[in-house]
Amino acid sequence: MASLDDLEPGLDAVSALVDPVRRAAYRVVAGAGTEPLGRDEVAAALGIGRTLAAFHLDKLVDAGLLTVTLARRSGRSGPGAGRPAKLYRRAPGEHVVSVPPRAYRTGAELLAETVLRLGGEETLFEVARERGRTAGAAVAPGADLLDVLHTHGYAPTAGEEIVRLRNCPFHHLADEFPPAVCGMNLALLGGLLAGAGRPEWRARLDPRPGLCCVVLERRREGAAEGGAAEPL
């Protein structure tokens, strides 16, 4: 009889987050985006000792949730520069637990390939825009935009003029089908802003390594809504 580990390779990785301190350590590192964090920074953020922070960070590395590099934070090199410090980043992979196993990713890939073969990108964008508007309309009046984006899995960074998104909910598909999926994501977020009644923000493409391909940008005063980069 197959074990759960045989059925779900990602189970060990996800179970590593059961410990609340370890889960908090992961959130701190993930929240830093592409910037690596050292043990001292994580310990200070959590209010725990450096040794305990190091223990949990290394467990997250063992589980494949974080990656680690060695570097000198001072920028010095050579004799007297001190030992390199361990720096942690969120690992690029994803871990999904499904019991029994499901092949949703394969299904999504097949659907994306079908859309491309049929030349149905514009229809995809239209559907995404409508779905975004529906989701936006369900947002409570006065809700914080960052909280809304967190709810939808984007892990936004706070910004007065530009909000960058540290996580792409469609990361795997975006790697496989970038024009279609990034365009879909752009339409979805544009619709979300419109449905939530947030005309002061616009969604536009700005792909950068380690970040979502879409950013939210505050409109300049007097600027017209819409534009070629924003399919609203």
pLDDT at 198: 94
pLDDT at 213: 94
pLDDT tens per residue across all 232 residues of the chain: 444 455 455 677 778 888 999 999 998 998 887 789 999 999 999 999 999 999 999 999 988 889 999 887 665 554 445 678 899 998 877 766 666 677 888 899 999 999 999 999 999 999 999 999 999 999 998 899 999 999 998 989 888 899 999 889 998 899 999 999 999 999 999 999 999 999 999 999 999 888 899 999 998 875 554 433 443 3
- Residue 92 DSSP label: S
**3-class DSSP assignment, residue 43:** helix
Residue 211: beta bridge partners?
Answer: none
Both tokens of residue 204? Answer: 């536009």
pTM of the model: 0.72
Q: Are 13 and 95 in contact (CB under 8 A)?
A: yes
Query: What structural domains does the chain harbor?
Result: 4-90 (1.10.10.10), 104-218 (no CATH)
Residue 43 backbone phi and psi in degrees, to 5: -60, -45
pLDDT at 8: 55
pLDDT at 158: 83
Q: What share of the chain is helix, strand, coil (3-state, %, to 5)?
A: 45, 10, 45
pLDDT at 218: 94
Q: Are 20 and 60 in contact (CB under 8 A)?
A: no
